[in-house]
Amino acid sequence: MLRPPYQSYDRLYVYHLDKADILAFDDPDLIGIWIEDETAVLFFHRAKDSLVAELCARHGCNLIYQADLDYCDWEAGLFISSFTVGGVTVSPVWEKGRADIRLDPSVIFGSGFHPTTRVCLETVIHYMQTPEAAIKTMLDLGTGTGLLSIAAARFGAEKITAVDNNPLACAVARANCRLNQVNEQVDIREMDLRKDKLHTSGYNLIVANLYRGLLEQLIQTPSFWEGGIYILSGFLQSMEADLLAELPAGQIRFLDRKQSDRWCIWVLGNRKVIG
């Protein structure tokens, strides 16, 4: 996350350690730490070889790899700037000018530059603006930067639960919600969807921009199907047939299908809830 004096990202210095439980430490150049499958990925604005060597010695861990790259290369060579989807302008915090949503994308998925984020955003905005859908509650599975939740709150969702298993994503999403003054509506929880029990009952809209394996697991869990409308994304066209076969037969109504590049987005209605 950006902290003074930093107001934007230039280069990223990345250190991947083979241990997750690094004792809390602070450094003025620290962007954040990802904890992933018993490993830790440290991101800094500047090179920190000696600090990382000291951390490794203190915690008895090893450096798996290190890299330094331009921030835009983290985003697949794209320079993050303002964009407009469904009439909503999203700007990174370092850009001045009018914006409906301001975002610190940090090193978290959900800057808006991936096709799935854009189409999910467009779809969330569409359903929020559809009076018959009457969306008041939303569950955002794998919230990343929190962008989809912020957009739903902007359009009047009263209660949004946003979850992510990446602690840095949760911290970034919380900061972005505060920045956009929707922190009262959005409750961000650290949760691993592979293990933790998920309650979908009472949510009008459920957004899950994840990846195939996790989507399959969710789709096959009967309690996943207690919400109203589902926006599922994060899978390629080539995976559609397999996922389709796993949907609970008879219970799901296809409301829409979109595609951007090879990425697909499904909008599904749960007949048990929306008829």
Ligand X SMILES: C[S@@+](CC[C@H](N)C(=O)[O-])C[C@H]1O[C@@H](n2cnc3c(N)ncnc32)[C@H](O)[C@@H]1O
Binding site for ligand X (CB under 6 A): 109-110, 116-117, 120, 142-144, 148, 163-166, 169, 191-194, 209-210, 214, 234
251 exposure class (CB count in 10 Å sphere: 0-12, 13-18, 19+): middle
CB of 160 to ligand X, least distance (A): 12
Q: Closest distance between ligand X and the C-beta of residue 53, in Å?
A: 28
Please report where in the chains the tokens 């303002």 appear, as a residue. 82
CB of 142: closest distance to ligand X in angstroms?
2
Q: How far is the CB of 50 from ligand X (least distance, A)?
A: 30
Give residue 199's Cα distance to chain centre: 19
Residue number with CB closer to ligand X (55 or 265): 265
Cβ proximity to ligand X, 9 vs 109, nearer residue: 109
Nearest distance, CB of residue 189 and ligand X, angstroms: 10
- Give residue number: closest CB to ligand X: 142
User: Based on CB atoms, which residue is closest to ligand X, 91 or 116?
Assistant: 116
Structure-token pair, residue 28? 């003025």
* Tokens at 54, concatenated: 């000291």
Q: Which residue's CB is nearer to ligand X, number 158 or number 192? A: 192
Q: H/E element holding 72?
A: helix 71-74
Q: How far is the CB of 168 from ligand X (least distance, A)?
A: 9
Nearer Cβ to ligand X, position 61 or 172?
A: 172
Residue 55 or residue 206: which is nearer to ligand X going by CB? 206
